[in-house]
Each structure stands twice: as structure tokens, then as C-alpha cells.
Amino acid sequence: MLYQTIDILGTVAFAISGVLVAMEKRLDLFGVLIIAFVTAIGGGTLRDLMIGNTPVGWMQDLTYVTTIFITVVFAIIFVNKLKYLRKSLFLFDTIGIGLYTMVGVEKGLEAQLLPIMCVFLGTMTACFGGVIRDMLCNEIPIIFRRKEIYATTCILGGASYFLFMQFPIKDSYAYVAAILVVISLRLIAVKFDVRLPNIYKKEA
């Protein structure tokens, strides 16, 4: 029950972030729907294909498609209530990667993968919907920009789950704690302008 709830919440968060990006680019209604859809299910689709879980999840359960449609309608109607679109986009994107990281880790565990592979699968699930979204909107994907730590927080958060599992706590508590690690790390990184090292020499 917890896993399915987290999966749906992640779908909602990423669908909203897709709507916000699409509306910033002033796409038509169909464009907004497509961007929201690929943002919400892009990473999960790639994940399922890689572990041989076909047909992919959203094709087997209409709940995901329905959730995306309802979320798009809701986001369009209340977009004027979401003040400071850039901050709203950052918030929903951050929530999305936190939730989807652990969804991917859980899928990896179900496929009996090694912990490190589960972490990579969680990172892919969290990041690649946003990569597809940004590419379609003619933006350099956030995951490739030095100005924001993105995938690194997913990796650390996914790894923290296996660390928490070493303590005498319920699996569900470790699961939620790992989600909070991802979200907290990204918020801290942006708040204090933490970045990965610059590999390029400054121009004279």
C-alpha cells in the first residue's frame, strides 16, 4: 500500500512539473499533456524495459494514465495560484525525484538486483522523465547542468535506504527516511549553492 501510494504521489509531482515547464514554453493543450505524460512516466518506462518488466507499468494499470490526466487538468486550472512558477517547478521536481528514487529502488529489489544496481535503477527512474521533458522543451537537462546537484542526491538517498535497513526499524520507516534524504539534500544543495567540482578551466 505504501509503495503504490508513493508511486502515485511521484506521478502527480512529476506531472505537475511537466505542466509548469510546458506552460512556461507556451505550448498548446496537447503539448502540455504530452510533456506532463513523458515527465511522469519516462523514467519508469525506461526502468521497466531494462529489467524486462513488460508491458511497462502504466500500460498494465490505467490508474497512472488517469492520474496524469486529472493532474494536468488540475494544474492548468490552478496554475495562476502557483505563484513564482520557477519555485513551484523546483518544489514539485524535488518531491518527484525523492519519491521516484525509492520506487525505482523497490523495483530493483523485486527484480533481485544487487543494492548498487537498485540505487542506479532508482536514480534512472527519478531523473530520466525530467531528461526527456527538458530535451523536448529544448533545454539542457537539469541532470547535466553543473549549477544544480540532481542525480547525486538520488544516489545518496537510494544508498541511505540500505544503510537505514541495518537499523532495527520497520522497512516502511527506512523507505520514507530515504525519500526525505533525497528531498533534503537537494533543498540544502540549492539553498547553500553546493555544486559538483568544475572540470573546465576558467578563461583568462
Q: Is residue 140 part of a domain?
A: yes
Q: Is residue 167 part of a domain?
A: yes
Q: Is residue 196 part of a domain?
A: no
> What is the average per-residue pLDDT within 33-50?
96
Where is average pLDDT lowest: 82-86, 105-109, 127-131, 180-184?
Answer: 82-86
Q: Is residue 198 part of a domain?
A: no
Q: Tell me: the pLDDT tens digits for 154-188?
A: 999 999 999 999 999 999 999 999 999 999 999 99
> Does 74 have pLDDT greater than 60?
yes
> Does 147 have pLDDT greater than 70?
no
Q: Is residue 79 part of a domain?
A: yes
Q: Is residue 201 part of a domain?
A: no
d(CA 21, CA 38): 12
Binned at pLDDT 50, 70 and 90, residue 111 comes out as very high
Q: Which residue has the higher pLDDT, 148 or 195?
A: 195
Neighbours of 103 (CB within 10 A): 27
Binned at pLDDT 50, 70 and 90, residue 146 comes out as low
pLDDT recorded at residue 204: 43
> Does 94 have pLDDT greater than 50?
yes
Binned at pLDDT 50, 70 and 90, residue 113 comes out as very high
User: Do the Cβ atoms of 15 and 44 come closer than 8 Å?
Assistant: no
Q: Domain count of the chain?
A: 1
Listed residue (162, 16, 14) closest to 79, CA to CA: 16
d(CA 198, CA 202): 9
Q: Is residue 35 part of a domain?
A: yes
pLDDT recorded at residue 198: 74
Binned at pLDDT 50, 70 and 90, residue 95 comes out as very high
Q: Is the pTM of this model over 0.85?
A: yes
> Does 78 have pLDDT greater than 90?
no
Binned at pLDDT 50, 70 and 90, residue 82 comes out as low
d(CA 186, CA 179): 11
> What is the average per-residue pLDDT within 29-50?
96
Range of the domain at 125: 2-191
Q: Is residue 88 part of a domain?
A: yes
